[in-house]
Chain A
């Protein structure tokens, strides 16, 4: 926002807002909307962005609402896929990692249904894509399959979208350790892959993405993160009527 010449009234922590005094989200947004032209918010509760949009006529940008959606990430993901493959339609795309709770993969899956992809979902059984997203794909006649191992599909895809497996999602920490060590993309996976394969990751990464991949032509996650800046600037410009 500041790079675009705007000013930011912001708070990274709810403890410095009236929410800590028990003010409702509706009231907070109604007040904040009177001071601002646009509101970008990240909130731990699901549906909070939609609720916020009901409280003000100023544009609300959802920067993530709990485990529900992360639409601006999806816009930059789509932009990056287009940039690397020169098209969006008809691509083979693998989504891997925490597909159950990962909001980026939920939003991206929904958005991709518009571009006739072939989708591969790779996750430990307990973290597979929720059923209602798969139902949505079936309804839209999108081909997909479920897998547990990365090596089963990586040779076939144009985009490999990897996400972090989060420790706090596991009730049993032993299970986490087991998955953490087995669910890891390494240089060994990079043999015989498609030349145009690009690895994407919403970052931060932990153990699931070997840093040795950074030097390959397939790594594109840092450019993806940079695209985040441009796409969000473009979005701010669009909602403020400047583009």
Chain B
């Protein structure tokens, strides 16, 4: 491998690789998937050069297999991300990401007067695309938010 082609984030033997994350979103995904608490080896690349995206983020998690539900949650933050399961350094499975129709538990409703912020209860959001943007609407207070308006997650 020449110096130019050297991997900036080292390969993993078994686990999950989340690639082509739009730059700046990897830490959000780590928080979203609660990866820091999994006690697994997580390597993160931020602002890596990318032919397609100019810059991108990348996450590799050793000995951890992402579920379909979790993969779809990644699609919320990084719709163009690719997710591969690795076994013995080879790609074993590739996920086709699909936006989830609903998200339970994870998001905190930004509306301070929403009942979900005052009761010990799970939040519940419906997900839909508005043009190119992902929008979520709270089942309880019925307010709609662009995803970047969600600042807090219940983890």
Contacts and interface: CB of A to CB of B under 8 A. Distances in A.
Secondary structure of the B contact surface, majority rule:
loop
B65 to A, nearest CB: 34
Nearest to A132: B144
Contacts of B115: 25, 45-48, 50-51, 65
Nearest to A67: B113
Interface stretch (B56-64, B75-83, B91-99, B118-126): B118-126
Interface residues of B, number: 18
Bin chain A's interface residue count. Answer: 10 to 19
Nearest to A43: B115
Contacts of A67: 113
B5 to A, nearest CB: 48
B144 A47 contact: no
A193 to B, nearest CB: 34
Nearest to A51: B115
Given A66-B113, A67-B113, A46 B119 contact: no
Given A44-B113, A45-B113, A67-B113, A24 B141 contact: no
Secondary structure of the A contact surface, majority rule:
mixed
Interface string A54-71: 000000000001111100
A222 interface: no
B47 interface: no
A230 interface: no
B141 A46 contact: yes
Contacts of B28: none
B138 A47 contact: yes
A46 B113 contact: yes
Contacts of A24: 119-120
Given A25-B115, A66-B113, A67-B113, A46 B143 contact: yes
Contact of A50 (B111, B113, B120, B139): B139
A45 B144 contact: no
Contacts of A69: 142
A42 to B, nearest CB: 14
Interface of B: 111, 113-116, 118-121, 130, 137-144
Given A25-B118, A132-B137, 19 more contacts: A24-B120, A25-B115, A26-B121, A45-B113, A45-B114, A46-B140, A46-B143, A47-B142, A48-B115, A50-B139, A51-B115, A51-B119, A51-B121, A65-B115, A66-B141, A68-B141, A68-B142, A69-B142, A135-B130
Nearest first, the 3 A-B pairs at minimum CB distance are: A47-B140, A46-B141, A47-B115
